[in-house]
Chains A and B, each alone.
Chain A
Amino acid sequence: MSVPAIKTEELRKVFGDQAAVKGLTLQVEQGEVFGFLGPNGAGKTTSMKMLLGLVVPTSGTASLLGAPIGDLATRARVGFLPEHFRFQDWLTAREFLLLHGQLLGMDSHDLKTRLEDLLERVGLTPFRNKLLRTFSKGMLQRVGLAQALLNRPALVFLDEPTSGLDPVGRRLVRDIIRELKEQGACVFLNSHLLSEIEVTCDRVAFISHGEVIRAIEMASLEKNLSRVTIRAAGLTSESISGLARWGQDIQANNGRLVMTIHQEQDLPEITRYLVAQNAEVYGITPNRLSLEDIFIETVGEDGGL
């Protein structure tokens, strides 16, 4: 078993008398695409900054790739795209990547071919000698992404990587995340865009007030298409309580019945049962529980404020 990509224990940050992160304990494995979700002000960015050594934790411990946070040699294996990306705008795209590659301590020959490849990958080759000052938000996001990948990182932090990107750009980010996963890298993704997380992540953690309140394997969402809506007339309260053998959380309302079933394979039998109970069934629809539902269910409608 390899060392975890990220491991934190009771990581805490207090600004003044305000605890931005209360006690973050989580573990992310190498090769995993991990989504970090939570309402605004939940402490996502502060947590990420602590892991990256930008913010000094008040207490608690954390390690990246087995080394304590702040370790210089480890930083050479980590990539980072910040949220409010503002870069050295007096540099051209190529010079910007050159500078960051040099700061990473990359070999100059390797760096020169690597940065051309990356410029090509993010679609900026025609703009390679243009000053960043003239770039649009989406172009800056792309060059920032290239910067995060220069050192072929084993661990990449992306803070809201698709904000400011058009659909083509978003597809690009998704593809790059998939490529990173194929190469065995770990991606730590901070995002509001749940649909993005849904298609890219292996596992997500919900954070509120700087604590992980729920962690979910995305694969489990696929398997448990457990919530179903039954539209039927003539349901008696006995027939409804009879459904309890196939599931739970039964809510009936005016010919609409929602319940959580144990397994999808039971659906035909449930239908037969309802027909035998003289109910007139108009439809049975599995409700795929979306990440958005879980999000709202987990943090509450008020967004955890």
Chain B
Amino acid sequence: MSTIGYERSSLVTVDEMIAPTTDAPGQRAGHGGGLPRTLSEWLTTTDHKAIGVAYAMTSMVFLAIGGLLAGVIRAELAEPGLQLVNETTYNSVFTIHGSVMVYLFAVPFGFALANYLIPLQIGAADLAFPRLNALSYWLYLFGGVIMLLGFVTDGGAAGFGWFAYPPLSGASESPGLGADLWIISVILTGTSGTLGAVNVIATVTMLRAPGMTMFRMPILTWNLFLTSFMVLLAFPVLTGALIMLLADRQFGTTFFDPGAGGTPILWQHLFWFFGHPEVYIIALPFFGVVTEIIPVFSRKPIFGYRGLVLATLAISALSTSVWAHHMFTTGQVVLPFFAATSFLIAVPTGVKVFNWIGTMWGGSLHFEPPLVFAIGFIVTFVAGGLTGVMLASPTLDFNLSDTYFVVAHLHYVMGGTVVFAFFAAVYFWWPKVTGRMLGRRLAHVQFALLFIGFNLTFFVMHILGRDGMARRVADYSPTDEFETLNLISSLGMLVITLSMIPFFVNIVRGLRGPRDAGADPWHANSLEWATSSPPPEHNFAWLPPIRSERPVFDLRWSGHDDVAAPGVATALAWRRDESGTVADEPSPPGPLDDDRDTAAHGKEKVVERSITVETTLWAGVAVYFAVIGAIYIAVEGDPAGISLLLLATGLGGLVAGWLWDFRRRHPEPRPQDRLDADASDETGVVGIYPTASVRPLALAAGMSAIALGVALGSWMTIAGLAIVASQVALLVRDADR
């Protein structure tokens, strides 16, 4: 295929396709686009878009709070001596800064993306379990507020760092109520995340539109899907460990008490078994964001789609076997194994970077704000990835661990990348959510300030760490020669703060601007751009044919046979015939009608059994265990790795058996597994979902009360149990009807 010049008028627009349906029942565009308008509507909504917006706004508030706390840290460290806060407050400030950013901003913003975008990207009306989704949100909000309440308790908020190593986090070292509130908060937000992951997996597995096979899903949806598996593996372990810690503090158990047979090292294993997948749980949704954005503004398809899916799979799998690289300095872990897996994870992440560059290569780059921020993301991510490889080497990690070098590294991989991709996401989907555009020039000014400020703040920390500055120090000595670099870093933080001014101006202006964005302002690719901005209740009155991972691109180019995916023009023409008066037994559309398609596939393939893809995921887990077992045997010379090989064999057998059984029971492919399925007559699902329920809010309040009662008094637990029991009773009653 060669390049073609085009007249914009020759392209089909989404707006002209959906225009006739804007009067359809249930359409509330122009009245907030289906978003709740009153407080009581907000409190009871189960609409995924409303909850997505709530997640996003809440996480942005927590980003601002985390940023303010970062400002306190940098102000205090700008020069030697304690000027602004004392040690106790400083320790609370950096603890809550890290906790807010990790638990209350970065992960929940991923769930904001999942909430708002997954149903839109796969052509569904909502998530699979809308009320469970609302419960997730309320648990997150209550958990977050409980963490911050620590600041108003006697003794202040928790001050033991966001990974809460015992014995420091134990009752004798951290006796304050703030510490209990921190633990309860993370239990609640962790539970919220686990429930959210269940919802995402169910939605992606079951609710894809006809024709939306697994390998036609947008990469963002893929990443959120795979992230959810990591959440399911990691979060319950954290929740369990936190309950053990809470029991140590409140009930006199001694899991982590070295004076009574417990071991602090156990906590480190449990925490980092959560903590390292967590890093990727945070990162992968943001990788997904830039993977959505780069092709749109390059006017090219994503380069190496399947490679990217495989890379995400590899990262997800490896992320479960690298945790002890956080513990190299304890001298209590197997060094070669965890170093090997940590080095390996650099490979799929590197592949992603090359795929992003490959997508831009030969493209026609439109430097709109989302692309500019996405490029900023790549630069910071590469820098953080390279220092990550250094830290994977125990030889170097012994020196660099727990220093400002690590602070620099983690802010490049978890701070910079997340924040740049976060703003890329805000600029990209803002028109979809609000129907209004944001200013380009202000965004570019913001980017320039943020990029300069970020690198000023964090780059010098690499040098500080190597020069001997430990992390988490409230002060440093004038003789340490750290002054200049710390001052530069603090000035950088000032520039970051300044960069928020153009952003807020842009937001305020953007909210006042005309609602003229249209359905597809960016000439984008995925299905969320095939509905109005903002989308109506239950999202779609109309879906374009889904014949590739870019249905909206295919629709736009449906007049150009050599550009759009095969079968699109036929499918559209067939629909027009059907809605016309002369429906003369139209033959169903599909790749088989289209010679080019069979040529393109090289064979007559009409079904991509997504069930096969899902099964392959599990088979991949089996292969992964086999590989890990082999690595273990190789680097340790220890035959114990054979147990992993056996586990792999067993898992592989289970998967094969299940696949065989599923095929036997379901000979017909589901609509979402058929490459030729048409979406036009399958959108009659509107109305099957409840749109409002007060139950999730009540249940979240009850669950929070149960947890809080552990620290505040058993009356609260009893009240919470009563609320939860009443809600369960109501559910049972409803189920009987």
Question: Is B truly associated with A?
Answer: no
> Which residues of chain B have a CB within 8 Å of any CB of chain A?
none
